Structure 1
């Protein structure tokens, strides 16, 4: 099941409403957002993530998922302020803040703050399933008639 096939904001809402990470929530995140997990070419990373999930190391699991699924993204900022963790993911950390288009999330739980940013970055990074040829609307009414406009004379 892909994140794109369902309401993408539903998983983000669940993460924001959660008090902490559970094995069920992590399994749902992995099944709905991860395209490379499990990966034959990344067997070591996949096994490492499975061990982290089994041990309940949620923060390390979130960081490992970013490394596996979004290698072009990096944590730009991770700050604890006024009872909440603030996480910013970026494709180009070296740019000044005002030029960077980072993804920012926050939550009282560190792992959920990182996972929220991960899910949002995964939504942005997901390839669009569009064809190169525009589609034809299929809801045309019966009032329209086909008309040949070529001049063969």
Structure 2
């Protein structure tokens, strides 16, 4: 992730957090800055449906359709309202118990903004479209133990 991409994502997070409700401009910014599968030139059935929902102000439907389009391996695990805020959790393994799942959670006073915030975070964690076949450890990760090789080649 480049510095400009990181700054754009921070600005997008701040914009979502500070907004009172979703607007077409906010949704288009989310699509423009985070979506890799949303084709601007050759729209398909899913993108046409998302555009219609944006045009009609169906923000929650548009946000859920973006998750379906961009993050097909992620599902909504939980949507809850507590103490004046909506909480949205997205998960790759919804069938696992909560304590085993590594869900993405976001909250906001507005439900579509909570869902969009979780979507943006899941996109960020999902990383770039081109990945290596070998997983890497994030820099600065706090390791509980020090890994070492214990093979005996003798």
TM-score normalised by length of structure 1: 0.78
67 and 17 in structure 1: CA distance in 2 versus 1, 3 angstrom threshold: same
Query: What are structure 1's unaligned runs of at least 5 residues?
Result: 133-153
Q: Distance in 2 between matches of 1:78 and 1:21?
A: 17
Instruction: Indicate the SS of the match to 1:72.
Output: coil
The worse-fitting range, judged by mean Cα deviation, of 119-128 and 102-111 is 119-128
Query: What are structure 2's unaligned runs of at least 5 residues?
Result: 134-154
Map of 2:20 onto structure 1:
19
Q: Distance in 2 between matches of 1:34 and 1:4?
A: 16
Q: Distance in 1 between matches of 2:3 and 2:12?
A: 8
Aligned residue-pair number = 131
24 and 129 in structure 1: CA distance in 2 versus 1, 3 angstrom threshold: same
Map of 1:98 onto structure 2:
99
Map of 1:76 onto structure 2:
77
115 and 82 in structure 1: CA distance in 2 versus 1, 3 angstrom threshold: same
The CA deviation string for residues 66-87 of structure 1, in whole angstroms up to 9 with x for no partner, is: 0000000000000011111000
TM-score normalised by length of structure 2: 0.77
107 and 126 in structure 1: CA distance in 2 versus 1, 3 angstrom threshold: same
Map of 1:55 onto structure 2:
56
Of the two structures, which has the highest relative contact order with CA contacts closer than 8 Å and spacing of 6 or more?
Answer: 1
Query: Pairwise mapping of residues 2-151 of structure 1 onto structure 2 (< 5 A)?
Result: 5-7=5-7, 8-38=9-39, 43-127=44-128
Q: Distance in 2 between matches of 1:47 and 1:3?
A: 32
The CA deviation string for residues 105-124 of structure 1, in whole angstroms up to 9 with x for no partner, is: 00010000000000000001
Q: Distance in 1 between matches of 2:105 and 2:129?
A: 22
